[in-house]
Amino acid sequence: MKKIKNILVTDGNSRAALAVTRSLGSKGYNLFVGERVKPSLASRSKYCIDAVLYPDPVNEYGKFCHKIKEIIDILKIDLVIPVTDICIFPISNMVKDGVIKNITQLANDNTMKLAANKSELTKQAVELEIPVPLSHIIVSKNDIALQNLKIPYPVVVKPSRSRVMIDGKWIFTSVTYAGSHDELQSILEKTNSEVFPVILQERVRGKGIGAFYCYDKGRCVAKFLHRRIREKPPSGGVSVLRESVEIDPDIDRYSQTLLEKIKWHGVAMVEYKYDDEKDIPYFMEINGRFWGSLQLAIDAGVDFPNILVNIFQNIDVGDATNYKIGVKTRWLWGDIDLLLMLLIKSRSQLKLPDDYGPKWKVIANILKPFSKNQHYEVLSIKDIKPWFHESRQWISNLVK
C-alpha cells in the first residue's frame, strides 16, 4: 500500500481547488496550494500548509514545468492534483516524457488528449449510438465547404479543443453561434488554422446537465448528478445554486459506455444538453478534471477528492455511488452577481428563455439566505478566511 503525506493542488483561485483542499486537509494530509499569485482562494484555507508560486502556465509553459518539478522535489510531494486544463496538460506531458514520475491520478496522456478532443469524441459517441446533435466537422481551413450543410441555423461553431498550444503559449477558444451562411463563413475564415478541426452543430435548446464520475483504471467507483437551479448568466452559464438529484439511467449508461471505451482513469464530468421537447439528452463533451460545483458532491456524500487519494494508495473505495438526494449548495457571490444582472438588465438583454418565469420571483428566492438542506460553497464558519478573501476580490472587481 502506498502511503502519502504531502499533496500539491494547483489552480488555487478555483473553487474546485478549495473543495479539494478542505476535503483532504481535514483528513490529515499536508496540502500545498499552488497558483500564479498568493494568497489565493484555496491557500487561505486553514487546511493549507503553505502556498507556493509558479509561473503562468498559459504564457510561460516551459518555466511552469520547471517550477513544478522543483516544487515536487523540494517539498517531497507524494501526489499532484492539477485542477484545470492549463495545469493538467503540462503535468500530463511531464509524466509522459519522464520529467516527473507518475504521482498524479490522471488518465494516460493519449486518453487525456482524446477526452479533450471534441471532434474525436463526437465520432466515438456516434459509433456507440449515443445521441449527439446534428454535426458536421470541418477538418482544416482548406476544407470550408458549406454548400451542402444540412444543419439549421443558428449553427453552433465549436472548436475541437478548448485550449490550443501555439508558439509555446496556450490560446483559449470559445463556442460561437452563426445565424446565417455568410456569418458562418466569416467566423471560419477568421479562425486560426491551428484551432481546426471545428465542429458545426445543431443548437440544442434545453438545460445543461453534468454527470460526474471517478474511475479506477476503467472501473466506475463513484458517480453523482446534480441539477442547476440558478445560473449566471441566467440564459445559461455557471451554476450558482444546484441540487443533488437521482442518476438518470440513460445519461449514466451513455457516460459509462463512453468512459469505458476510452479506458478512463480518475475524475471526469460528462456534459449533456437535455432537449425537453424530444426528451433526449444530447452528449456534448467530457471534461477530465474536477468541476466548479465539486463541493455539492462532497456535501451530498460523494467525497471525490478522498476517493481519488484512496485509489492512489490502493485502498478499496468500494462502490461510492450512493448519496443524499435534495442537497443544495450555493455559491453566494455568484448568486449576488446574478441578482445584479436581474436588477440592472432587461429580459431581452439577458436573453431569457420564455420558460424562465418572472424576474421578481428569482430575485425573491436569491434574497432568501437559507432553505432546506442548503449549504454554502465558499462561506464556511469552520474555515472563514477563503470567504473573506473572495469577498475582498468581489468588492474590488465591483469597484473597478
pLDDT band for 3, please (50, 70, 90 cuts): confident
Asked if residue 257 lies in contact with residue 327, where contact means CB atoms within 8 angstroms, the answer is no
Q: Are 250 and 182 members of one domain?
A: no
Rg (C-alpha) for the chain, rounded Å, is 21
**1 part of a folded domain:** no
Cα separation, 357 vs 354, whole angstroms: 7
> Looking at the domain assignment, is residue 65 inside a domain?
yes
Q: Residue 59 belongs to a domain with what CATH number?
A: 3.40.50.720
Query: Residue 371: what pLDDT?
Result: 86
Q: Which of 65, 87, 104 is the last residue of a domain?
A: 104
Q: On the CB side of 115, how many CA atoms lie within 13 Å of its CA?
A: 29
* CATH code of the domain containing 365: 3.30.470.20
The residue type of 224 is F
In tens, the pLDDT along 286-322 reads: 999 999 999 999 999 999 999 999 999 998 887 788 8
- Tell me, yes or no, whether 232 lies in a domain: yes
Locate all alpha helices (DSSP H) within the chain, ordered by sequence: 15-25, 61-75, 85-96, 109-115, 118-127, 181-190, 249-261, 294-300, 304-312, 332-344, 347-350, 359-366, 385-399
CB 83 within 8 A of CB 33: no
Residues 228 and 329 in one domain: yes
Residue 147 — pLDDT band, cuts 50, 70, 90? Answer: low
Q: How many Å from the N-terminal Cα to the C-terminal Cα in the chain?
A: 51
pTM: 0.91
Going from the C-alpha of 41 to that of each of 14, 214, 217, 240, 382, the distances in angstroms are: 7, 25, 32, 17, 15
User: Based on the domain organization, do 243 and 334 belong to the same domain?
Assistant: yes
Question: Are 239 and 372 part of one and the same domain?
Answer: yes
Q: How far is CA 171 from the centre of its chain?
A: 18
The domain boundary, picked from 86, 104, 122, lies at: 104
Residue 119 lies in a domain: yes
User: Is the model more confident about 203 or about 309?
Assistant: 309
Q: Please check whether residues 213 and 138 belong to one and the same domain.
A: no
Report the chain's mean pLDDT, rounded to a whole number.
91
278 and 337 both lie in a single domain: yes
**Residue 176 burial class via C-beta count within 10 angstroms: exposed 0-12, middle 13-18, buried 19 and up:** middle
Q: Residue 145's pLDDT is what?
A: 65
Tell me what pLDDT residue 332 has.
Answer: 96
Compute the average pLDDT of residues 392-396: 95
Do 304 and 290 lie in one domain? The reply is: yes
> Do 82 and 148 fall into the same domain?
no
Count, residues in the chain: 400
C-alpha cell at 178: 452563426
Beta bridge partners of 274: 207, 281
Task: Let me know whether 114 and 166 are in one domain.
Answer: no
In a domain, 320, yes or no: yes
How many domains in the chain? 3
One domain for residues 147 and 213: no
CA distances from 384 to 22, 32, 284, 304, 313 (A): 12, 18, 36, 22, 31
Q: Give a yes or no: residue 283 inside a domain.
A: yes
Q: Is residue 240 in a domain?
A: yes
Report pLDDT digits (tens) over 345-358: 988 888 787 778 88
Residue 170 phi, psi (nearest 5): -80, 130
- Percent of the chain topping pLDDT 70: 98
Q: Do residues 173 and 290 share a domain?
A: no
Q: Cα separation of 201 and 26, whole Å? A: 44
Query: The dihedral of CA 225, 231, 237, 239: what is its sign?
Result: negative
Nearest C-alpha neighbor of 266 from the set 53, 56, 91, 105: 105
Nearby residues of 261 by Cβ (< 8 Å), 6 or more positions away: 124, 128
Q: Which of 65-69, 167-171, 276-280 shows the lowest per-residue confidence on average (mean pLDDT)?
A: 167-171
User: In the sheet where 48-53 sits, what is the strand order?
Assistant: 48-53, 30-35, 6-9, 79-81
3-state SS assignment for residue 25: helix
Is the pLDDT assigned to residue 18 strictly greater than 90?
A: yes
pLDDT band at 209 (very low <50, low <70, confident <90, very high): confident
Mean pLDDT of 333-341: 95
Task: Let me know if residue 31 belongs to a domain.
Answer: yes
Q: What is the mean pLDDT of residues 240-264?
A: 95
- Do 79 and 112 reside in the same domain of the chain? no
Query: Which residue range forms the structural domain that includes residue 68?
Result: 6-104
Q: In the listed set 202, 222, 248, which residue is the last one of a domain according to the structure?
A: 202
pLDDT of 146: 64
